[in-house]
Amino acid sequence: MADFSTTRDSSRLDVEKQTSYEPNSDLEAATIIAEPESEPGTSDGPKDEVAAESDPNIVDWDGPADPENPMNWPDKRKWLNIAVLSILTLVTPLGSSMFAPGIPGIMKEFHESSSTTATFMLSVYILGFAFGPLLIAPLSEIYGRAPLYNWGNVLFVIFTVCTALSNSVGMLMAFRFLMGVAGAAPITIGSGSIADIMPVEKRGRAMSAWALGPLLGPCIGPVAGGYLIAASSWRWVYWLIAMLGGVFVGVSFLTLRETYAPVILDKKARRLRKETGNEALRSKFAGKDSSIKEKFKLAVVRPIKLLVLTPIVTLMALYVAITYGILYLLFTTFSFVYAERYGFGEGIVGLTFLPAGIGMMMGVVAFGLLSDAMVKSKQAAGVAHRPEIRLSPALTIPSGLTLPVGLFLYGWTAQYGVHWIVPMIGVVIFSAGLMGVMMSIQNYLLDAYPRYAASVTAALAVLRSLAGALLPLGGLQMYNTLGLGWGNSLLGFISLGLVPIPLVFYIFGERIRKRFQPSL
């Protein structure tokens, strides 16, 4: 640890010498690129700590209770940060489907008739969510989390205004794509922020609040969008989103604090260099020979390496992607199912997305609290925390089985025109199970790869968003060929086949993690 006898008082130094800091997220470890890791999610080991302590120019936290360390923030500040992040993750996904009820009017205004164009108009936003993380994650590893949230929101508002002013389908699609790219910031690095500030036994609730936005936004958006479009026009959907985003531009700049440890310590090192004139002072997490270009190159490929070279991330991302794609396939059916089979008007059709939102809120409350309760019970019993606890069969099997149950119920009751409340109940069941699957997997990967939390989230987001964008392109054709009953039954059988994946990793996950440790 640094001996700042010329700049720091001796009492502070004594505390510094007694502590070392273990990285708790992906981005904290981004700058530790010269040292091999012992195991994902662990510290770099005693050798690195001894090396750091023997170097008098290393800048670290001022003891275990350093108020600058985000893990030591008061709970009010932590939850304020999480609340703002959760709202941002709700606002940006609104753009994905809030204008969906107005697609027929847009097609008529721009003289388009292709059903593929109509579907892609909805999906192109999700493509932005797929490609945005590949840029956002590496930038955040260099400049920190807060600038990406703040300036990403500014760009999101600008692109939303441009979308509202679009005078062609091509212009509309281009700016919708850019909206998705800019709006992906809170979805990409939110889990890293949570890992920075929350202990493992409280992450379930925090992750639930944060993860609800990307799923709940596309559900509640069409509700307001349907009535707004009926009363005015589709352009007012984007004006409303721009206003909401604009409000939170100011809120995010005023309230969001940097949580990324390497950036905080790097600023501290710069301040001390200025105060002392010692240009050799550097952050504990600063790479010895790492330029910004090298950091960016390493960071930009990390999500892809995790996705391709670690079976846990690959299969879990596949599970999430397929279930997320199924959700968007269901979204494509709501407009024609409830309009044509049940006679719902343009405004009321938007309300048919509410059951999905209700189911997700039920899933968040149930599975988020249950997940944290399991971790706390293990800790109370003196059992060391294992990430695989998040994949307990008590969580993953019930949530996985509710997906096909909900799909079968929705598909066959809509096929035969049973009262509209019954297929909606099927959607509630499916959505609650979807949140159970999502929360179990997100929390597991966050615990399994805490040093690479943002990169893991980016890997999940890429595959999930690609599925959400591309699967609906063939969805209507599938339903036209198979019908609602067998079409949703096919999706149900696919989701049923995925249920054993978390169970396999619950049993063998620790062994697999130790075996597959790519250089990141």
Band of residue 2 on the pLDDT scale cut at 50, 70, 90: very low
pLDDT attached to residue 22: 39
Would the pTM of this model clear 0.95, i.e. be above it? no
User: What are the tokens at 143?
Assistant: 């400049």
Q: How do residues 288-325 score in pLDDT, each as one tens digit?
A: 545 677 777 777 788 888 888 889 999 999 999 999 88
pLDDT interval class at 176 (50, 70, 90)? very high
User: How confident is the model over 434-451, as a mean pLDDT?
Assistant: 85
SS3 state at 58: strand
- The segment with the largest mean pLDDT, out of 29-33, 227-231, 418-422, is 418-422
Residues whose CB is less than 8 angstroms from the CB of residue 453 and which lie 6 or more positions away in sequence, other chains included = 25, 26, 27, 191, 192, 194, 195, 446
Q: In which residue are the tokens 């990324």 written?
A: 260
The yes-or-no verdict on residue 47 having pLDDT over 70 is no
Strand runs (DSSP E) across 220-290, as ranges? Answer: 282-283
From CA 426, how far away is CA 411, in angstroms rounded?
Answer: 8
- Bin 291: left if φ > 0, else alpha if -120 < ψ < 50, else beta: beta
| Residue 165 pLDDT > 70 | yes
- Domains of the chain (ranges, CATH numbers): 70-258+296-515 (1.20.1250.20)
Q: What is the mean pLDDT of residues 439-453?
A: 82
390-416 average pLDDT score:
92
Question: In one letter, which amino acid is 76?
Answer: K
Give phi and psi for 371, each to the nearest 5. -65, -45
- Burial of 227 per CB tally in 10 Å (0-12, 13-18, 19+): middle
- Mean pLDDT across the chain, nearest whole number? 80
Give the torsion through C-alpha atoms of 217, 365, 153, 306, to 10 deg.
-100
Q: Which of these, 259, 285, 28, lies nearest to 145 by C-alpha position?
A: 259
State percent of the chain over pLDDT 70: 87
Q: Which residue has the higher pLDDT, 121 or 13?
A: 121
Find how far residue 477's CA is from the centre of its chain: 30
Given this model, what pLDDT does residue 291 score?
67
